[in-house]
Amino acid sequence: MAEKRTRNWSTIIYPRMTEDEKTECPDNWAGILSELGVKCAVSPLHDKDVYTEDKIDRETGEVVHRAGDLKKPHRHVIIAFDGVKTAAQAREVFERIGGVGAEPVNSLYGMVRYLTHEDNPEKAHYSTIDVLMFGGFEYKRYASTKEDEEKQIMGQMSEIFKDIEEHELFSFSDVADYLLQEKPELFTCYRKNAYFFANYLKSKQIIYRNIIDGMRE
């Protein structure tokens, strides 16, 4: 059977919490990830996670952790390689930061949202602000839902409407010039919705022209 090969892999690291704590995770793990230059996302420190059921040692049968006990603080790490990798190849990279295991990521969207337990109401939630990114990993691209994207687009369009009214922008080119100079962060939204805005501005022009013609009569 062929070995599993995929671009996206995940692991868990246990950063040192105290000076005398022993861990495989080096203190400069973030610097190592930065130097590797791979596209990578790291979760906030998961320090509020608890066991949902008793954890029993398979060999002794003893209860190692009780349900409700805090888990050891950890971080989830996702690496999106440029090409497919085997588990062994992914593990080689993860070992440099003390990663425990190497798991293939079946859904990058789902795993990225798991970094903060976005879709897990039964788990402790963490802030997306604390997600760390390396190598140009586009966190928002993978973490946003279609609903989130629609809300963002509607907010940007509303701001463009406001600018059109406040600055009396009458033509498609006037709006484009204004956004490029004053609000380039909105220009992509304007460009992607060019047909809509062109027709919107044409209707505005007709309304203003009718008002002016009415004043002349």
Q: Which two tokens stand for residue 162?
A: 């406001």
| Residue numbers of the domain that contains 21 | 5-143
Domain boundary among 112, 143, 174: 143
Final residue of a structural domain among 91, 118, 143? 143
Mean pLDDT across the chain, nearest whole number?
90
pLDDT value of residue 143: 78
Confidence of residue 204 (pLDDT cuts 50, 70, 90): confident
In angstroms, the CA 98 to CA 94 distance is: 6
Quote the number of domains for the chain. Answer: 2
Average pLDDT value for residue range 30-56: 94
Q: What is the pLDDT of residues 110-163, one digit of tens each?
A: 999 999 999 999 999 999 999 999 999 988 887 776 676 677 788 889 999 999
Among 90, 125, 143, which residue terminates a domain?
143
| pLDDT at residue 1 is higher than 70 | no
Whether pLDDT at 88 is above 60: yes
46 and 137 co-located in one domain? yes
46 pLDDT higher than 90 = yes
Single pTM value for the model: 0.68
Is residue 58 located within the same domain as residue 139?
yes
